[in-house]
Amino acid sequence: MFNLILFGPPGSGKGTQSEKLISKYGLKHLSTGDLLRSEIAGQTPLGLAAKSFMDKGQLVPDEVVIEMISSALDNNPQAYGFLFDGFPRTTAQAEALDKLLSQKGTSIAVVLALQVGQNELVKRLLNRGLTSGRSDDTKEDVILARLIEYEKKTAAVADHYKKYDKVVYVKGEGSIDEIFDDLSSAIDKRSRA
């Protein structure tokens, strides 16, 4: 299997690049944000519990997203590999993911970390809010709360994978195609290694 994490702050382009990467590399896309939004749309108990956190720009509790990812892995036994988008977002989630993958005899091959400046992130998220229908993109205070959560809890995930020399930084500003080319060459280098 070939499993990768697309990592970076809210608004760094993970969703856009994920779509292109899964079609180029034949990976199964697992976005916890998308999975949570579909639970909310289906008005499931999990969705209702998650919504109150998401509306405030806070992370959903670890056990909720870990369980969701665990089922998604079990439901896709035939996948060639997974692209994790928006997960793991805490060190506890990273440790849980490593364990789940190792139980399946596999691991994370590479963590691609998109780097984008704070002003650009806020600009992109507000802009996305005009068309995305996502209420967490329309309010500047919720956007700032998400960026603070990222610094406080999620940035440490890169340190976790740095210990295993799995992190590659990619500049997330420039054209979508330029960024995609940089991500692709980082993957090609790692999958040959």
Residues forming contacts to ligand ADP in the complex (CB under 6 A) are 10-11, 32-33, 36, 53-54, 57-60, 65, 86-87, 89, 93, 136, 146
CA dist., res. 167 & res. 175, Å (int): 22
Indicate if 134 belongs to the active site. Answer: yes
Choose the catalytic residue: 14, 37, 124, 166: 14
- Please report how close the Cβ of residue 57 comes to ligand ADP at its closest, in angstroms: 6
Let me know the angle formed at the C-alpha of 164 by 5 and 69, rounded to the nearest 5 degrees: 35
Q: Quick check: is 14 catalytic?
A: yes
- 124 an active-site residue? no
Active site residue 146: yes
Catalytic residue among 37, 124, 128, 166: 128
Smallest gap from residue 81 Cβ to ligand ADP (A): 19
- Determine whether 190 is an active site residue: no
**Residue 85: CB minimum distance to ligand ADP, A:** 7
- Alpha-carbon distance 166 to 181, whole Å? 19
C-beta closer to ligand ADP: residue 114 or 187 = 114
Q: Determine the Cα–Cα distance for residues 56 and 141; give it in Å rounded to an integer.
A: 9
Nearer to ligand ADP, 123 or 189 (CB): 123
Which of 165/173 has CB closer to ligand ADP? Answer: 173
Residue 136 or residue 182: which is nearer to ligand ADP going by CB? 136
Handedness of CA 18, 41, 36, 44 (dihedral sign): negative
Q: DSSP character for 105?
A: T
Per the listing, tokens 């995930």 go with 157
Q: Return the SS3 of 4.
A: strand
Instruction: Quote the least distance from Cβ 131 to ligand ADP, whole Å.
Output: 14
DSSP for 40-71?
Answer: HHTT-HHHHHHHHHHHTTPPPPHHHHHHHHHH
The active-site residue, picked from 28, 51, 56, 134, is 134
Q: Which residues are catalytic?
A: 14, 89, 128, 134, 146
